[in-house]
Structure 1
């Protein structure tokens, strides 16, 4: 018989994880929270294989028995770091990551960390969404200035989007932004760029999926900045719950199934003509503020999912 403990791997400051952990505590479900960043200096691992993995992961105050884990949640842990004064620090870090992640990979997961890493690739998401029957914007990935200019001419107007969170070393955050074709110069060759055809918006949808349940919030931006990327102007957004059409919901569930995800946060555009356009799915997306704004019971659904042994 499987265990009851829920293991949550995340950083110290994670209000989204806090909401689910509080719900699990309310249900008297044992929870062990751990940030693997401090392994191996402050976390002790002892795991033995004999017809299955047994053993422990010990933090300063808690012990996680591996065989007692009902489900694990790879939320937003901090990367493992090794002090620079440790001999062969690069090799030590590689071994620490391989050893810890290798053992943890055998646990039952909400979203397996390896599946999260694969599903994070935006080009893959677009291909999977299109194959599931969703409309996807025309997209270019390039580091060739001439390719960018040709795309803008063929598909304009276009927007630029970062592949990742878009946080620069300076702390500045890059959001999706409309592209002036005159700015498509040789600086494009510095790195990979993602350009997409700009889709007319009536409003946007944030669909948080948990084990097939879809919690849909409509997001109406009241400024031009927010209409380009609502993340850039949270103070000028209006939220409401939304009934997603059955056929669109079925296609989103297909995307989740093909990406091997039990949880995902989708961003969709609803066009003035009534079409739904896929933008992306975040396999570890934020949702706590959506619950606060709409009352959608996402924390409860995640607690349900984490209580189940899969």
Structure 2
């Protein structure tokens, strides 16, 4: 590897990636953008191993030389699919995923896709946060209604948080919210549920970390719904560029090092007493709206990281 091209793997509509690609183009850095979902129907892969891996990805007339990749960015790609009418379609899909992602695995990455996958697990996030010294709320992960009820009784008030993005069939979204003990019936057995002690909140902070550089935004919710989960009411939020205390910043950088990440978006509740309480960390989190609201140069920092420029 060691070339100049930045490879960006994401879906067709990704304004967050667009902002970084525009900056890279401004700098004259060559960019190859594609969606892995194009493979194998619309993308051709050809790779060969000798002293190392060489080869290419071809999408239409555009070609990526894998040996010319300076850094790759796994943003928000669409999953590879194979039409059901293709013979042995599930096997074909598994082979396509293993082949393409296997070759991509040898590229130099901002965050390696396998490290992203591991760091998305909330139990690992909480364990790592505690390891670096962050305060972490008491939490239970269960599908046992008796354990859920016992936790609520011990730590009320308690909130429920989805383990994934929370988008249901039909587009409805589940946000973090308070738990009514009376609602904890046998339906809890249907799947895993994460319950967490509700932390007294003065405000929240989203800290975007890029190669050790930290862009912290204070988020003040101006509605009751937003105070429960600011993602549920973007129209009633106020943003202010902020600065993490030095000890919190050091712990944030340590957190990323332990999970082999160069980029992550960390969320904190700040209590009325000023304590930073870790909630979660997204290894592929959104940030473009934070930049728009605060003017912090996050796109420039990610472009630096992809280009290999130290600041």
Q: Distance in 1 between matches of 2:192 and 2:6?
A: 39
Residue 152 (str. 1) matches residue 147 (str. 2): no
Give the Cα separation in 1 of the matches to 2:2 and 2:98: 25
Structure 1 Cα separation of the partners of residues 5 and 179 of structure 2: 49
CA shift, 1:102, in A, is 0.2
- In the alignment, structure 1 segments of 5+ residues that lack a partner are none
Asked if 2 retains the 8 angstrom alpha-carbon contact of 1:71 and 1:309, the reply is no
Instruction: Flag the 1:286–1:99 CA change in 2: closer, same or farther, 3 A.
Output: same
**Equivalent-residue separation in structure 2 for 1:309 and 1:303 (angstroms):** 8
> Is the contact between residue 2 and residue 309 of structure 1 (CA under 8 Å) also seen in structure 2?
no
2:2 maps to 1:5: no
Structure 2 CA distance for aligned equivalents of residues 15 and 230 of structure 1: 21
Superposed, 1:130-169 pairs within 5 Å as 130-169=130-169
Structure 2 stretches lacking a partner, 5+ long? none
Alignment of 1:31-110 (within 5 A): 31-110=31-110
User: Which residue of structure 2 lines up, in the alignment, with residue 253 of structure 1?
Assistant: 253
Paired position in structure 2 for 1:231: 231
1:217 maps to 217
- The residue aligned with 1:292 is 292
Equivalent position SS for 1:170:
coil
Hey, what's the Cα distance between the residues in 1 that align with 2:61 and 2:158? 51
Counterpart-to-counterpart distance in 2, 1:180 and 1:190: 18
Shift of 1:20: 0.2
Contact 1:215 1:298 in 2 (8 A): yes
Q: How many residues align?
A: 310
Q: Distance in 1 between matches of 2:250 and 2:189?
A: 39
- Tell me how far 1:162 sits from its aligned partner: 0.4
1:262 and 1:66 mapped to 2: Cα distance? Answer: 21
The equivalent residue for 1:183 is 183
The separation in 2 between residues aligned to 1:86 and 1:259, in whole angstroms, is: 39
Paired with 1:191 and 1:231, the residues of 2 have a C-alpha distance of: 23
After superposition, the CA RMSD in angstroms is 1.1
Q: How do 1:260-279 residues align onto structure 2 when only pairs under 5 Å count? A: 260-279=260-279
Alpha-carbon deviation of 1:309?
8.8
Q: Deviations over 1:134-165 (max 9, x none)?
A: 00000000000000000000011000000000
How far apart are 1:61 and its partner, in Å? 3.4
Q: Helix, strand or coil for the counterpart of 2:97?
A: helix
**Corresponding residue number in structure 1 for 2:26:** 26
Larger mean Cα displacement after TM superposition, 167-176 or 229-238: 167-176
**Conserved 8 A contact 1:119-1:259:** yes
Q: Is the partner of 2:40 in helix, strand or coil?
A: coil
8 Å contact kept, 1:108–1:309: no
- Between the aligned partners of 1:279 and 1:68, the Cα distance in structure 2 is 39
Q: CA deviation at 1:74?
A: 0.3
Q: In the aligned structure 2, how far is the partner of 1:99 from the partner of 1:224?
A: 48
